[in-house]
Copies of this chain bind each other. A is one copy, B any other.
Amino acid sequence: MKTRIGIMGYGNLGRGVEAAIHQNEDLELVAVFTRRDPGSLAIHTPGVPVLSADKALSMRDQIDVMILCGGSATDLPQQTPAFANVFNVVDSYDTHARIPNHFQACDKASKAAGKISLISCGWDPGMFSLARTYASAVLPQGMHETFWGRGVSQGHSDAIRRLEGVQDARQYTVPIQAAVDRVRRGEQPVLSARDKHLRECYVVAKPGADKARIEEEIKTMPYYFDEYDTTVTFITQEELDRDHAGMPHGGTVLRSGVTGLNGEHKHTIEYSLTLDSNPEFTGSVLAACARAVHRLNRNGMSGCMTILDVPPAALSPMSGEELRAHLL
C-alpha cells in the first residue's frame, strides 16, 4: 500500500520533498498546495495538481499524510495544529525554545482527530537529535557537543540582507576544527559560542554604500554575530551568484564519555552529515517520516510525537524480516 502525500508549501523544502518522493516507490505525491496563485506554479511531477491551500480539507480522503513545508517563524505554529485536526502531518519546526508549546498544540489537535503529528523532523532537530539521544543513553557519563557547518545559514544571511546598503549576502557557519578535535579526543572541554564556530559573511554592497559601517553593523549584531569571530568579505553580485549559489550544510554531533567502575575507559561517538543541499536532505527526512506516520497511525497510534518516539524500522521501506537480514 502506498503512502499518499500532500505537500503544503512549494519553496525549497517543498521541492525537496517532491524530489524525495520520486526516490521512494512506496510514496506517492497526490497534490501540492500553495497560498500563491496555483496557476503560477510549475511542479516536477506530471499529472499531479497544484491547488489552493484552502482546498486541502476537501482532499482529506485522498491524502494519508500532509507534509507542511512552511517556515518556522510564522507558518508552522499556525498550520501544523490546524492541519493536525484533519490529517496525519509532518513538519520540520525548528524553533527549539518553542517546541514544547508547538508539541502541546499539535498533540491536542491530533488526538482529537485520531491522527499523528510528527513535528520537528529534519536534520537538526531530527537526525542530530537522534544522535544526541542514543549517544547520551549508551554513554550516560559524558558530554556532547554539536558543531554545525560548514554550511549556509539562511537566518544569518537574511539578517545581513536586512541591513541598509546591503544588496545580497551569504553567511557560512564554520565549525572550529581545534574545538572539534578537543571533544573528539575526549577532553570534555567547556566551549563558548566563539570557541565552536566562526561566521564567514560574503556581502554584496549597494553602489556607494559605506562598507566599513556595514562590516561594523554585522560584527556587532546581537545574538547573530556579536558572540562569534566573524569575517566579512565584500564581493560582487556576479561572484556571489557564481560561487555561493548552493545550499550546502551539515555538521557533527560528538559525544565523549567513560565506562568502567572508575571511568577508566574512554569512548567517542560521532555522527556527521555532509550535505550538498540542505532543503533536499531535509525533504528526504520528511518523506521517510511520512511513511512512518502512516504506518504508526494504521497501527492505532495518535497524538503528537517527535522522531525520538518513532521506532527506526517504521522509517524504512523494508519489512522487519528484510531489515534483520540486511541492515541489522
Interface residues of A (CB under 8 A from B): 16, 19-20, 22-24, 44, 96, 99-100, 103, 120, 125, 127, 129-134, 136-141, 259-261, 265-277, 280-281, 283-285, 288, 291, 306-313, 315-318, 320-321, 323-325, 327-328
- Enumerate chain B residues within 8 angstroms of A23, measured Cβ to Cβ: 140-141, 259
Check A260–B19 contact: CB distance below 8 A: yes
- Enumerate chain B residues within 8 angstroms of A261, measured Cβ to Cβ: 19, 22, 44
Instruction: With CB as the reference atom, state the residue of chain B lying closest to A18.
Output: B261
The residue that A281 contacts in the complex, of B103, B138, B140, B327, with Cβ under 8 A, is: B138
Complex CA distance for A139 and B315, rounded to whole angstroms: 11
- Enumerate chain B residues within 8 angstroms of A316, measured Cβ to Cβ: 133, 136-137, 308
Check B312–A328 contact: CB distance below 8 A: no
Check B138–A284 contact: CB distance below 8 A: yes
Complex CA distance for A315 and B321, rounded to whole angstroms: 23
Give the interface centre of A134, A139, A266 by most chain B CB atoms within 10 Å.
Answer: A134
- Enumerate chain B residues within 8 angstroms of A267, measured Cβ to Cβ: 273-277, 281
Name the distance in Å between A34's Cβ and chain B's nearest Cβ.
19
Q: Given known contacts A133-B312, A267-B274, A272-B269, is B127 in contact with A324 (CB within 8 Å)?
A: no
- Enumerate chain B residues within 8 angstroms of A134, measured Cβ to Cβ: 127, 130, 312, 315
- Enumerate chain B residues within 8 angstroms of A273, measured Cβ to Cβ: 267-270
Check A309–B320 contact: CB distance below 8 A: yes
- Enumerate chain B residues within 8 angstroms of A44, measured Cβ to Cβ: 261
Q: Given known contacts A44-B261, A311-B309, is B138 in contact with A288 (CB within 8 Å)?
A: yes
Number of copies of this protein chain within its complex:
2
Complex CA distance for A315 and B130, rounded to whole angstroms: 11
Name the distance in Å between A129's Cβ and chain B's nearest Cβ.
5
| CB-CB nearest 4 A-B residue pairs | A265-B276, A259-B280, A265-B277, A137-B315
Check B284–A259 contact: CB distance below 8 A: yes
Check B285–A325 contact: CB distance below 8 A: no
- Enumerate chain B residues within 8 angstroms of A120, measured Cβ to Cβ: 328
Name the distance in Å between A244's Cβ and chain B's nearest Cβ.
16
Check B133–A313 contact: CB distance below 8 A: yes
Name the distance in Å between A304's Cβ and chain B's nearest Cβ.
10
Check A284–B139 contact: CB distance below 8 A: yes
Complex CA distance for A222 and B226, rounded to whole angstroms: 62
Complex CA distance for A318 and B136, rounded to whole angstroms: 10
Complex CA distance for A313 and B280, rounded to whole angstroms: 26
Q: Given known contacts A259-B20, A267-B274, is B328 in contact with A125 (CB within 8 Å)?
A: yes
The residue that A277 contacts in the complex, of B133, B260, B321, with Cβ under 8 A, is: B260
Complex CA distance for A96 and B324, rounded to whole angstroms: 9
- Enumerate chain B residues within 8 angstroms of A275, measured Cβ to Cβ: 265, 267
Question: Besides A130-B134, A259-B280, A267-B276, 12 other CB < 8 A contacts?
Answer: A23-B259, A99-B328, A127-B269, A134-B315, A138-B315, A140-B284, A265-B280, A270-B272, A271-B271, A308-B312, A308-B320, A310-B311
The residue that A311 contacts in the complex, of B20, B308, B325, with Cβ under 8 A, is: B308
Complex CA distance for A312 and B128, rounded to whole angstroms: 13
- Enumerate chain B residues within 8 angstroms of A129, measured Cβ to Cβ: 327-328
